[in-house]
Amino acid sequence: MVRIEEDGRIHIKVLYWGMAGSGKTTIVDTLHRLTKEQELDMTPKGELKKIDMANGSTLYFDRGIFQSTKTPKIFYHIYTVAGQTQFSPLRKTVFEGTDGVLFVVDSQTFLFEDNIESLKELKKVAQGDLIKEIPMVVMLNKKDLNETIGASEFEHILKEEGLWYSPPNKLSLWNPIIFETCALYDMKRDIYRSFYECARRTALYHIYGNGTAPIDDEFLKKYDKM
Ligand SMILES: Nc1nc2c(ncn2[C@@H]2O[C@H](COP(=O)(O)OP(=O)(O)O)[C@@H](O)[C@H]2O)c(=O)[nH]1
Ligand SMILES: [Mg+2]
């Protein structure tokens, strides 16, 4: 839920959701590093907080704050969930108040079913709010590896799960963009772009849709010119 302080500062919560090992922590690490090193529209505020298990997987969640440089009153609070099956109740808690979701897929073909399971859980936790109230962006991660699924295959899954609208439904404007990404710093691909797109959508939902997907004609006219 977008939170506005008395001094006008706006806080937006963005969540990376996906199966264990899909790359969420690596994505946020890379995002943090590259926004620190380059002059972009987002800049990190402080360090990332991580709560890890001894084997390096996320126990509770990771957390970081990024500030918009164009609109410095906007702060994005980034979280990742622990993907392991047994942490399902915890994911529900971390999801609370989320304004935008990046769904992270481990695109390796043999993990196809595990990703769908993770997507179904997200749908359940979001209770029908995805796209309509919570903008969604998809990252097909690990696209540097061989034998991975592609955007058209994942689009098919989204259709089957009812997370894809066809025109003339105006919600089709807010269909999830599917980015093919690599989170490893040396080969990074579309890590910033996917985050920026999700952040942009959360702001538009807030400003023009009063917390829902903006689809009225007045907005659509404006959007054409954006
Ligand atoms: N080849 C490759 N490996 C990745 C990529 N992203 C993450 N990994 C690796 O996948 C493993 C799990 O990543 P992690 O970020 O801990 O996943 P999380 O459980 O979703 O937080 C680590 O060994 C990462 O180095 C990627 O884009 N390409
Ligand atoms: Mg993690």
Protein residues with CB under 6 Å of any ligand 1 atom? 18, 20-26, 57-58, 80, 83, 141-142, 144-145, 182-184
User: What single string gives the DSSP state of each residue in the chain?
Assistant: --EE-TTS-EEEEEEEEE-TTSSHHHHHHHHHHHHHHS--SEEEEEEEEEEE-TTS-EEEEEEEEEEESSSTTEEEEEEEE--SGGGHHHHHHHHTT-SEEEEEEE-BGGGHHHHHHHHHHHHHHHTT-BTTTB-EEEEEE-TTSSSB--HHHHHHHHHHTT----TTSGGGGGPPEEEE-B-SGGG-BSHHHHHHHHHHHHHHHHHHHTTS---SHHHHHHHHT-
Whole-number Å distance, alpha carbon 156 to ligand 2 midpoint, is 27
- CA-CA distance, 80 to 57, in Å (whole number)? 11
- Return all residues near 216 (Cβ < 8 A) that are at least 6 apart: none
Closest-lying ligand to the alpha carbon of 28? 1
For ligand 1, atom 3, the nearest C-alpha belongs to 142
Residue type, 76: Y
| Parent domain of 138 | 3-224
Q: Which pLDDT score is estimated for 54?
A: 66
Closest-lying ligand to the alpha carbon of 143? 1
Q: Which of 26, 122, 148 to probe ligand 1 with, by most ligand atoms within 8 A of CB? A: 26
What are the pLDDT digits (tens) for 24-67? 999 999 999 999 999 999 999 988 987 776 676 666 678 999 99
Q: What is the CATH number of the domain that holds 31?
A: 3.40.50.300
Domain count, the chain: 1
Whole-number Å distance, alpha carbon 10 to ligand 1 midpoint, is 31
B/e letters for 70-107, b = 16+ CB within 10 Å, e = fewer, are eeeebbbbbbbbbbbeebeeebeebbeebbbbbbbbbb
For ligand 1, atom 13, the nearest C-alpha belongs to 23
Whole-number Å distance, alpha carbon 167 to ligand 1 midpoint, is 36
0.85 exceeded by pTM: yes
Per residue of the chain (226 residues), what is the pLDDT tens digit? 899 999 999 999 999 999 999 999 999 999 999 999 999 999 999 889 877 766 766 666 789 999 999 999 999 999 999 888 888 888 999 999 999 999 999 999 999 999 999 999 999 999 999 999 999 999 999 999 999 999 999 999 999 999 999 999 999 999 999 999 999 999 999 999 999 999 999 999 999 999 999 999 999 988 877 7
For ligand 1, atom 14, the nearest C-alpha belongs to 23
Backbone φ and ψ for 179, nearest 5 degrees, come out as -95, 140
Q: Which pLDDT score is estimated for 225?
A: 78
State percent of the chain over pLDDT 70.
96
Closest-lying ligand to the alpha carbon of 27? 1
Whole-number Å distance, alpha carbon 53 to ligand 2 midpoint, is 10
